[in-house]
Structure 1
């Protein structure tokens, strides 16, 4: 009897502790951003490469730039990108730079609510203060649009956003990109683009049943993407084995045309048209250098 009561007490205490953990506001520690002179043009470029334009602009539905509403379907439900225009009510017009940095790099809203990982904040954690400041300066030039953000269509228990604190505690996030002094500057820049800003691994790395990326299998492709599609492996060994050259890879990222003359399909079509086609020639070279693991 005593053993049963002790076990029950442990379960109750664990439940209470878990409840306190998941309901506690997250990530509201002060965020310090080093003061820099913002570069709006550079920020606009980062917004393109990072996928902000593609994910937050419902072009097919006639939506205003950055007004959100793009549906991201998954096995957990449908997520809708939010309005990130300068509208104070529907967008992020009343945010501070610090609010933006916390949301972008930590996936935490100004009110302390965690964002779903459909927003690739873990990859944006590699952006430095200058990147964040420039991106913020560019978004500040976006005209306000009052289109309200759509609620996510996610069923129970995934609708319990507080449970994301447990999910984050259990599953490791992609590591912050750091410069490898043993590799060339081009390789390191390409790694920052792929592992950070452009978050290539978000689609080309398989995920487990909980939707967390299997980091040990980075870039080996995902045959069962969350949206029901599939992505091919783009690790260096596979790319080379399939005959991809630096020139072919650069052409595909710039035009969406594969070496065999076929057009890249699926979500990659949008990635190219709204993202990689805008990469500077130098950065296309860098990305190819990293993906093919050349120096």
Structure 2
């Protein structure tokens, strides 16, 4: 009987230690202290991060895309996730969030209530954003319209509905390491921020392991199946990606490929966002892609 009690106590200790190690992380407001918000730059961050593409209402058009009412579905092997309302409505959306709340969501994947967000919010990429970027993004988002549409619940079954497990996932896959590293030119540094960070390109274009973590190394941006089960996302590495830098910049600007095809599906929304960025940013993304190693 004493051995049973000891094993039970040990099990409780192990579980408690695991929960403590995988608890949601957050930063205090002083991480953003002294920063002056620039909503004009925040609009650029908003476009580069593709916020409206995921959080606009389904089938929204034109200015309605800036009403971030949520509701789009994102099927995956782990369940179907629903984009939440992130409009300025203080009850249905995030209108009462301070900049530090947005920082903790994007940097740590932690809600203001201290819960893990599922990594369908690509904080694995957004962790690279600078504090100034987030402060500016918050300032711009405060200028957007409010909408009272309630967020829809995710359709996620056991065991993936246990958010405590997300903490273990973060321990394995959530860090600030860059994939492209070394002595990079200023253009490649900016391209890396836009591709690996704000633009979260790898979320679609990189294959995942059985736990949903992104593969790095030779598999980085080498193409991946669509998690919704329809088709796949293309390989961006050479020799598969043979477009020149100028051709890539043209694609990011107009959506036209060198073969006179046009961007479709979700990529059309990505191009729509990229076209609003400064041309230097589109050139930096192209330079990053052309600097990728040959996939094996």
TM superposition score category, shorter chain reference? 0.7 to 0.9
Deviation at 1:177, TM superposition (A): 8.0
Deviation at 1:171, TM superposition (A): 3.0
TM-score norm. by structure 2 comes to 0.87
Match of 1:283 in 2: 281
TM-score norm. by structure 1 comes to 0.87
Paired positions, count: 286
- 1:37 aligns to 2:36 (yes or no): yes
Match of 1:215 in 2: 216
* Cα distance between partner residues in 2 of 1:177 and 1:40: 29
- 1:292 aligns to 2:294 (yes or no): no
* Cα distance between partner residues in 1 of 2:289 and 2:188: 9
- Equivalence map 1:33-72=2 (5 Å): 33-60=32-59, 65-72=67-74
Deviation at 1:55, TM superposition (A): 0.9
- Equivalence map 1:150-165=2 (5 Å): 150-165=152-167
Question: 1:54 aligns to what SS in structure 2?
Answer: helix
* Cα distance between partner residues in 2 of 1:263 and 1:76: 31
Q: Which range moves more in the overlay, 10-19 or 93-102?
A: 10-19
Match of 1:166 in 2: 168
Match of 1:14 in 2: 14
* Cα distance between partner residues in 1 of 2:55 and 2:174: 26
- 1:108 aligns to 2:110 (yes or no): yes
Match of 2:206 in 1: 205
Indicate conservation of the 8 Å contact 2:180/2:192, yes or no: no
Distance 1:170 1:285, change over 3 A: closer
Deviation at 1:174, TM superposition (A): 5.9
* Cα distance between partner residues in 1 of 2:280 and 2:16: 54
Deviation at 1:90, TM superposition (A): 0.8
* Cα distance between partner residues in 2 of 1:265 and 1:207: 23
Indicate conservation of the 8 Å contact 2:74/2:82, yes or no: yes
- Equivalence map 1:98-247=2 (5 Å): 98-173=100-175, 175=177, 182-216=183-217, 217-222=219-224, 224-228=225-229, 229-235=231-237, 237-239=238-240, 242-247=241-246
Deviation at 1:162, TM superposition (A): 2.0
1:110-142 CA-partner distances (Å, limit 9, x unpaired): 011011000011211111121111101001111
* Cα distance between partner residues in 2 of 1:86 and 1:264: 31
Distance 1:183 1:168, change over 3 A: closer
Indicate conservation of the 8 Å contact 1:179/1:188, yes or no: no
- Equivalence map 1:258-269=2 (5 Å): 258-269=257-268
Unmatched tracts of structure 1, length 5 or more: none
CA RMSD of aligned residues (A): 2.6
Match of 1:81 in 2: 83
Question: 1:73 aligns to what SS in structure 2?
Answer: strand
Distance 1:185 1:147, change over 3 A: same
* Cα distance between partner residues in 2 of 1:173 and 1:71: 27
- 1:253 aligns to 2:255 (yes or no): no
Question: 2:136 aligns to what SS in structure 1?
Answer: helix
1:40-73 CA-partner distances (Å, limit 9, x unpaired): 1110121011010111101506766111112111
Indicate conservation of the 8 Å contact 1:97/1:133, yes or no: yes
